[in-house]
Amino acid sequence: MLLELRTQFTDAGLKDDLPAEALDGFKRRLAKPPAKPVGGYSNGELDRLTAAARADTARIVRRLRAGEDLLRRYREDPGQLGGEDLRRGKTLDLMADSGVVPEPAQRRQERLGQRVAFASELFLTWKDLAPLVALLMIVTERNGESIKELPVKHRLLEDRAVELSLVKRRRGTKRWFETVTWEIGAKNRQLHTPGGLYLLLLELTARGRAFCGASTAFAIWRNNLDGTAGIEEHWAPFEADLGYGSAMKMSGWGGGGGPPPFLGECPPAAGEPPPPPPPPRARRPQKH
């Protein structure tokens, strides 16, 4: 019966009159198997992708928390810090107050790299987006567009779950929202639960969002290449345009511009058959 209804609702004269929520329910409950095999990750590739995204996200968390810890120690008692930590603490204090990343008196190429290094101690940068977005998509099982538009506004449910409203995009002008409840889990499981990872993202972007006034979760510091530096370098890229996701360079993440090393170049996961050998190359006929 439901299959017959879905067939009728695909008629051009009827589908525009059907609420988007109902049509989406039919599609999800009665999804047709694809007529042809579609590309995707093998189980082993997905496992390696997940492990790589989780490891890189963990490194980002350690980096920013280390910067916050040094800033805290500098503000509490700068006299307890050594020479290099004292210098870094002073720089972090200035950035935290003003949002402005300093420009060292060096050659332009060196200056750009040094400014990124300074900013990376307190703020997310372009290179951080790919692993964060990838891990959020995997853990929440949501598509990239929904992840890019994650809101800041949310509600905690007894510290066990977080409730928020997701944007769900549809073809044409249809655009509606879905309220979801995500498990938070234990502190040491933040990288494994959707609610824990969402709250962790808000922690990592808190300073940047304060400077650019973002209402969505993602905010980064971008190194302006036109020579202007200031608070405007804090930016919510996906509020401006979801298409800015192409600048994340997902295909080159961790791969130096080529395929990421965790796809196809690692040994197969446990229980996964090894890849077939490449076909033999055709031999050129010899000239006589």
pLDDT one-digit tens code per residue, 125-159: 989 999 999 999 999 999 888 899 999 999 999 88
For position 6, what pLDDT does the model report? 56
**284 Cβ contact partners less than 8 Å away, ≥ 6 residues apart:** none
pTM: predicted TM-score of the whole model, two decimal places: 0.73
- Tens digits of per-residue pLDDT, 226-278? 566 788 899 898 886 666 555 565 655 655 444 455 554 444 444 444 444 44
Burial degree of 26 (CB within 10 A; 0-12, 13-18, 19+): middle
Taking residues 279-288, what's their average pLDDT? Answer: 46
Specify the pLDDT at position 246: 53
Distance CA 70, CA 78 (A): 10
Considering only residues 253 and 66, tell me which one the structure prediction assigns the higher pLDDT. 66
As given in the structure block, the two tokens for residue 70 are 């040094």
